[in-house]
Structure 1
Amino acid sequence: MEKKQNFTIKFLLLISLLMAGVLLVAGISALLIKYSGISPEDIDIQSLVLHNPELAKWILFCQHLVLFIIVPLVFLWIFYKRGMVEELNTGSFKFKDVIHFFVLLMLVYPLMGVLTFWLSLLDLPEWMNLMDKSQEETLMTLLKMENGYDFMFNLFLLAFVPGIGEELLFRGVLQREVFKKTQKIHLSIMISSLFFAALHFQALGFTSKLCISLVLGYAYYFSGNILVPMILHMVNNGSATFAVFYSKGDIFDTQHQDIHFSWSQVVVVVLFLMLCILYYFYLEQHYKHKSNG
């Protein structure tokens, strides 16, 4: 009973901290918008991105800083005080752990591509299509990079900051607390990954975000060190940012090519799904042997 109450208290406190964080971000955003001279009709995020992308980037930075870094750190400090670093890291950092799960991430990419394409073939509700269109337009505007400074700033904003913050919240807090409650690692990783995918508010991107999050979740579980999923997250986001910068935005045009369903796509899914499963079993045996040794 005490364990159940403790989990409930933690969950309610986390929700309360996130709500307080949302209010704080809203207040900061309102102040930034007010003193930037933007008219009230441009206050929605999409219009703000179009009219003042630099300001939108700073608001996005504040959002990530407060919700994904400060909130998890406050949560961990409340319950674990000075032991929160040890709580996050049950294993020492080894760069080869990053390599192990980077390989798994590479095996997952083809699956993500085909599954996302299949999802695009479905007749989704209009509100989902509008949400995806809005997200895509916003992302395209944020990713416009004219020079090296724009690239480095986007790398910091879209790779470095989310890599730290989102891993702190979804792996360091949510996954770890659910696992401590249930003692079921697969369930814990799936729950945190579902929240991770859902909170990106992308219907077509749901499966890809879910797949990436599953890899990050297992990377944290097997390595026991939060730096491993953080680095993988940064590499994933950073490589996408670099691809857009290197292609000068042309990469977005390839997403709208007229492609149809083919059985070769099924072969790709089956093949890479089998490879992912086999590689997962290899990792499981590798880390089991390491812990026994």
Structure 2
Amino acid sequence: MQKYNSFLEIRDLKGPGLGLLQLVLFCFGGMIVFQIISVLPLMLLFNTGFEETMRLMTDMGDPRSKVALYTTQAVGSLGAFILVPLLYVKLYQSTKVSTYFSVDTRYWQPLTYAILITFCFMVVNSLFIEWNINLKFPEFMSGFEQWAQTNEEQRKVITEYLTDFSGFGELLVALFVVAIIPGIGEELLFRGLIQTRLQQLVRNPHAAIWISALFFSAFHVQFYGFVPRLFLGALFGYIFYWSGSLVLAMLAHFFNNGFSLVMLYLYKNDLVDFNIDDTETVPLETVGFFFIIGAALTYLFIKFHRNLENADG
């Protein structure tokens, strides 16, 4: 874990505790600022006022709505998860920005392992996706349940709208907005910065990974996807921990999001019969098979990096 430990040696100028708080405030402020900024190019593009432009975010009957939603999501995510964290690193850390994007180009095996592990995990995680979606609450939590269901329905409508691709060009836009930007930005923030700062505070890598994954899942404000996203965040955290490469976690995150988008595109164009959005139970024997394969790949992934560290001294 030598490479991962090198991230733990990075010090915030105000210490890990205050640094983490400062980072969260930075990113929260960045989200607000860049959400406002994201409206400006739309106002120029559509020649509309602020209120009319904001209306486009909810009026899915307007053909301009999809452009508006993709633009605000892209600008907001790019600003809050990439530009603001990088600015934080530049101003308040004793390291170079390039440290977070370094990759050993001598070996292709780690990337292959990371992608295959993520694919196996997606199959296994389908059990938790179905369980989480069908979770029922006791009567005294009916108010929260109603809120969660309403939020889920609204998200589902928006997701179906944005993934109703009119052509290959829209798929490429979606890959950039939904896969590339989050893959880079969310891993930089939640794993590269928050997870490592948490470990400096709690002195336990596993606690840091799971707490960071908890923040990652809670940030998305989607209760009926909370548990599978928690496990997904932990997977990315462990890929980073085992390999010491944040880039591998970014690529795994990109694959997870991008594979789903591509499969949706293929299904809606009648090129495949499998609907990845179908929440029906994956056969247990299939889940068991991919769990075993994923565990074997994880062992090889960890072993590869331990041997690499021993060879490098």
Report the TM-score range of the alignment, normalised by the length of the smaller protein: 0.7 to 0.9
**1:284 alignment partner in structure 2:** 302
Q: How does 1:12-51 map to 2 (within 5 A)?
A: 12-32=21-41, 36=46, 37=48, 40=51, 43=54, 47-48=58-59, 51=62
Is 1:153 paired with 2:173? yes
CA apart distance, 1:254: 7.4
**2:257 alignment partner in structure 1:** 237
C-alpha contact (below 8 Å) 1:68/1:165 kept by paired residues: yes
| Partners of 2:252 and 2:217 in 1: CA distance | 16
The AA in structure 2 aligned to 1:21 is G
| Partners of 1:73 and 1:141 in 2: CA distance | 32
CA apart distance, 1:277: 4.8
Instruction: Name which of 90, 101, 107 aligns with 1:77.
Output: 90
**2:198 alignment partner in structure 1:** 178
**1:57 alignment partner in structure 2:** 70
**2:140 alignment partner in structure 1:** none
Q: How does 1:190-201 map to 2 (within 5 A)?
A: 190-201=210-221
C-alpha contact (below 8 Å) 1:90/1:224 kept by paired residues: no
Q: RMSD of the TM alignment (CA)?
A: 3.2
CA apart distance, 1:128: 0.8
The AA in structure 1 aligned to 2:104 is S
Instruction: Map Cα deviations across residues 43-69 of structure 1 (whole Å, 9 max, x no partner).
Output: 378615553111111011111111110
The AA in structure 2 aligned to 1:74 is L
The AA in structure 2 aligned to 1:192 is S
What secondary structure is seen at the aligned counterpart in 2 of 1:145?
coil
The AA in structure 2 aligned to 1:92 is D
Q: More helix per residue: 1 or 2?
A: 1
| Partners of 2:191 and 2:231 in 1: CA distance | 14
Is 1:144 paired with 2:164? yes
CA apart distance, 1:82: 5.4
The AA in structure 2 aligned to 1:47 is T
Is 1:107 paired with 2:115? no
Structure 1 pair 46–91 and aligned structure 2 pair: CA distance change class (3 A): closer
For normalisation by structure 2, the TM-score amounts to: 0.78
Is 1:9 paired with 2:18? yes
Gaps of 5+ in 2: 1-10, 138-144
Gaps of 5+ in 1: none
Instruction: Map Cα deviations across residues 74-113 of structure 1 (whole Å, 9 max, x no partner).
Output: 1111233552323x26763443111112222222122211
Larger deviation, residues 168-177 vs 279-288:
279-288
Structure 1 pair 252–280 and aligned structure 2 pair: CA distance change class (3 A): closer
Larger deviation, residues 45-54 vs 219-228:
45-54
C-alpha contact (below 8 Å) 1:49/1:142 kept by paired residues: no
Instruction: Name which of 66, 72, 79 aligns with 1:66.
Output: 79
Aligned residue pairs: how many? Answer: 287
Q: Percent identity?
A: 21
| Partners of 2:55 and 2:207 in 1: CA distance | 37
C-alpha contact (below 8 Å) 1:144/1:249 kept by paired residues: no
| Partners of 1:90 and 1:111 in 2: CA distance | 30
What secondary structure is seen at the aligned counterpart in 2 of 1:47?
coil
**1:165 alignment partner in structure 2:** 185
**2:227 alignment partner in structure 1:** 207
CA apart distance, 1:127: 0.8
